[in-house]
Amino acid sequence: MENSDLLAIAEQYGSPVYVYDSAKIVSQYQRLSNAFSGVKKLKLNYAVKALSNLSILKLMKSLGAGLDTVSIQEVRMGLKVGVTPKNIIFTPNGVSLEEIEEVAALGVQINIDNLSILEQFGTKHPNIPVCVRINPHIMAGGNSKISVGHIDSKFGISVHQTPHIVRIVENTGMKINGVHMHTGSDILDIDVFIQASQILFDVAKQFKDLEFMDFGSGFKVPYKEGDIETNIEELGEKLTKRFNTFCENYGKDLELGFEPGKFLVSEAGHFLAKVNVVKQTTSTVFAGIDTGFNHLIRPMFYDSYHRIDNVSNPEGRERFYSVVGYICETDTFGVNRRINEIAEGDILRFKNAGAYCFSMASNYNSRFRPAEILWHNGEAKLIRKRETFEDLLANQVEVSLEAMVSIDK
């Protein structure tokens, strides 16, 4: 996308606004597919939680992707856009047995990550095939906030508890048709991922009726100039060889699954915000914009880096700015960033705004959530309207307080 395209979108739809480039999503999907072209059965299940707009789900369906879901609401969204139940996997954490049963009744693949629910579900529904999520006790990346494979993680069944899984399966007569792991986000070291995959291979040997193995995702994407990223091609070469060898020894061709979210949509996303004020203090120049962590919380929540540039003045002289929001909290997006000279009214663009950005937005400070735009075949398509004051009040119930309030004079 050109700066002129982004400026035109901001002019037409207002700011702040999220914009997603469909061509980038398609190219990322193709890149991952090509890296594992040596696997006979490959299944890419898009992680809906990354960006759950219905139009994005329809795009994923058109590419041949399934869906990785974590709530019954995400399951229903997938079904609404026409994804078949067999192409949806449900991988929740900490949900009730009743929710799992409700999803199972829809024909969706169930993935269970704790022994208690596994035994309860297997006892009541031994004929419904189940996948089990294993915690390999291996950290992904360097940020503990987005690593879920470590020993203290709430996610998954410890690899050391595999004998307990086997015991439950034998006692209930239930069928295990898949094994799964997810170590977390921002995987840098391919060999660490390969080490974790070997643990999953060892677990898989315990079950004789498997149909698939799901290796999660968490592939790192670049966030800044010269940033390192997961070498998908190297991973494809190394894991394909090991997976095919395992299938040969196992006696049948299993399906190899991944659940990419950030990898597919992060770089496709652009978040546009207008500069409300340029404020000079004794030590800092602030660029205050018409958004805050109510719309983009990742920098405050995860210490995430999003490159910020001035699409209104891309050739201007670079100066140092701290970019801050309009929320009555500390919502600093970047400190002392080199950005082309900023004037009030300019449009700033945050890169890597496709994953876990709008999907984590809120109405904090009673602000409206922004519009979403899909840039597809050179056209801007509105895929979510900007909220209004009526939307903000839609589910609130105003009650009479006259009989409740008593002031002692």
Q: How many CA atoms lie within 13 A of 144 on its CB side?
A: 5
SS3 275: strand
SS3 336: strand
- CATH number attached to the domain at 269-393: 2.40.37.10
- pLDDT score at 326: 97
155-172 burial, b for 16+ CB within 10 Å, e for fewer? bbbebeebeebeebbeeb
Nearest to 132 by CA among 71, 206, 242, 193: 206
Q: How many CA atoms lie within 13 A of 254 on its CB side?
A: 29
**pLDDT exceeds 80 at position 186:** no
DSSP H or E stretch at residue 185: none
**pLDDT exceeds 50 at position 108:** yes
**pLDDT exceeds 90 at position 183:** no
| pLDDT tens per residue, range 233-255 | 999 999 999 999 999 999 999 99
| pLDDT tens per residue, range 200-232 | 999 999 999 999 999 998 899 999 888 888 999
Pairwise pLDDT comparison (257 vs 407), residue with the higher score: 257
- pLDDT score at 4: 97
User: Percent helix, strand, coil in the chain (nearest 5)?
Assistant: 35, 25, 40
- pLDDT score at 327: 96
| Span 276-298, average pLDDT | 96
- pLDDT score at 404: 64
The per-residue pLDDT of the chain, averaged, comes to 93
| Span 125-137, average pLDDT | 95
| pLDDT tens per residue, range 29-53 | 999 999 999 999 999 999 999 999 9
- pLDDT score at 145: 47
| Span 295-319, average pLDDT | 96
| pLDDT tens per residue, range 47-60 | 999 999 999 999 99
- The whole-angstrom separation of Cα 50 and Cα 354 is 8
- pLDDT score at 139: 66
Q: What is the 3-state secondary structure (H, E, C) of 290-325?
A: CCCCCCCCHHHHHCCCCCEEECCCCCCCEEEEEEEC
pLDDT band at 400; cut points 50, 70, 90: confident
- pLDDT score at 372: 98
Contacts of 20 (CB under 8 A, 6+ apart): 51, 56, 265, 268, 269, 270, 354, 372, 373, 374, 375, 383
**φ, ψ (nearest 5 deg) of residue 130:** -135, 145
Per the structure block, which two tokens stand in for 399?
């009650």
Burial category of 396 from C-beta neighbours within 10 Å (exposed 0-12, middle 13-18, buried 19 and up) = exposed
- pLDDT score at 405: 62
- pLDDT score at 146: 41
Active site residue 131: no
- pLDDT score at 154: 84
Nearest to 187 by CA among 219, 154, 155: 219
- The whole-angstrom separation of Cα 271 and Cα 273 is 7
Find how far residue 288's CA is from the centre of its chain: 28
- The whole-angstrom separation of Cα 64 and Cα 84 is 11
**All structural domains of the chain with their residue ranges:** 36-260, 269-393
pLDDT band at 152; cut points 50, 70, 90: low
pLDDT band at 193; cut points 50, 70, 90: confident
The Cβ of residue 186 has, within 10 Å, a number of other Cβ atoms equal to 21
Q: Which CATH superfamily is domain 36-260 in?
A: Alanine racemase (3.20.20.10)
Share of the chain above pLDDT 90, in %: 85
| pLDDT tens per residue, range 358-394 | 999 999 999 999 999 999 999 999 999 999 999 999 9
